[in-house]
Amino acid sequence: MEFKIALLPGDGIGPEIVTEAVKVLNVIAEKYSHTFTYETALVGACAIDATGNPYPDATHEVCTTSDAILFGAIGDPKYDNDPNAKVRPEQGLLRMRQSLGLFANLRPLAVFDSLIDRSPLKREIVQGADFVCVRELTGGLYFGKPQGRSEDGNTAYDTCVYTRVEVERILHLAFGIARNRRKKLTVVDKANVIATSRLWRQIAKEIAPQYPDIEMEFMFVDNAAMQIIQRPTYFDVIVTENLFGDILTDEASVISGSLGMLPSASVGAKVALFEPIHGSYPQAAGKNIANPMATILSAAMLLEHLELRKEGQAIRNAVNKAIEAGVLTEDLSSEGEAHSTTDVGNFIASNI
């Protein structure tokens, strides 16, 4: 089969980890007689430097004409450290999500048995943890209008807005995911304080009868933040709004022992995007030390999205072999020799 894949390496370690994922995809293509055609485009700080726009029109064209998108990371200290910057790399990410209709971010979390002692939590707490966070991506505080601040720099304001359509579509997606897992859905909100959360809760109650086989519950976000640490095995599917999802998924990612292990997918009305959950890690850029496994696992999710399930599983099996063999980058190799980004990619590719 033939597929066109848009590559958006982005900033920092993005180009290095995407290179390793492509290496693995090329082995898959050869073994399973597929043809993957790649087109690379700019996004983030590198796009600002080249065009002044963090998500150029040319990049959007590449994305919309592809079957899937593999994304690295965005972010650069020169923008992070400048509160007065009018154009920021992160604006490109938000614009891309909105322009492509990527309304849902799916972040699966599963603890690898061979890495369980890398988790900051006790083995008996995290063993068996396996859940999915479904985060709404194109509404809420990050996109609310108006936004601004006073001319004297003493006051700032943002608005959180959600519509029925936005809430319904993310809830239907989450119910569907729960139906294919352990049939339990936790809706996380702050309905005791926030009006948009009360809308979420109202709509969830209206939709729930359409899914009688799914056990649905509500949980306040502050409680959820505690429960994810105290009882990570309790959860199956979590669905929540944009800001809460951003925070909770980063919190949950630590359970596995490393941000470098967790892939994600952003899906919606058009082409789907696949990316590691970590950032651009600029301190490691160009040093060949970044963990490429999350990006390689994102490539596995990409293949599964394209209905190439055995190919995706082949990548997962090879990643497991690398973990069991101790072929790990410095974030996971507390004992023994740390392997380079390239070493890890080569090992995984050679074991497919």
Q: Positive or negative, the Cα torsion across 171, 173, 179, 182? A: negative
The number of C-alpha atoms within 13 Å of 140 and in the hemisphere containing its C-beta is 21
79, 142, 162, 211: the active-site residue = 142
Please state, as a whole number, how many other Cβ atoms lie within 10 Å of the Cβ of residue 191: 18
Active site annotation includes 250: yes
Active site annotation includes 190: yes
Nearest to 3 by CA among 73, 68, 83, 53: 68
Token readout for 119 is 């988790």
Active site annotation includes 222: yes
Round to whole Å and give the CA distance between 194 and 192.
Answer: 6
Which residues on neighbouring strands pair with residue 80, listed in sequence order? none
Q: Are 245 and 173 in contact (CB under 8 A)?
A: no
57, 82, 113, 222: the active-site residue = 222
49, 67, 130, 250: the active-site residue = 250
49, 80, 130, 246: the active-site residue = 246
The number of C-alpha atoms within 13 Å of 344 and in the hemisphere containing its C-beta is 35
23, 189, 190, 281: the active-site residue = 190
Active site annotation includes 57: no
Active site annotation includes 142: yes
Q: Which residues are catalytic?
A: 142, 190, 222, 246, 250
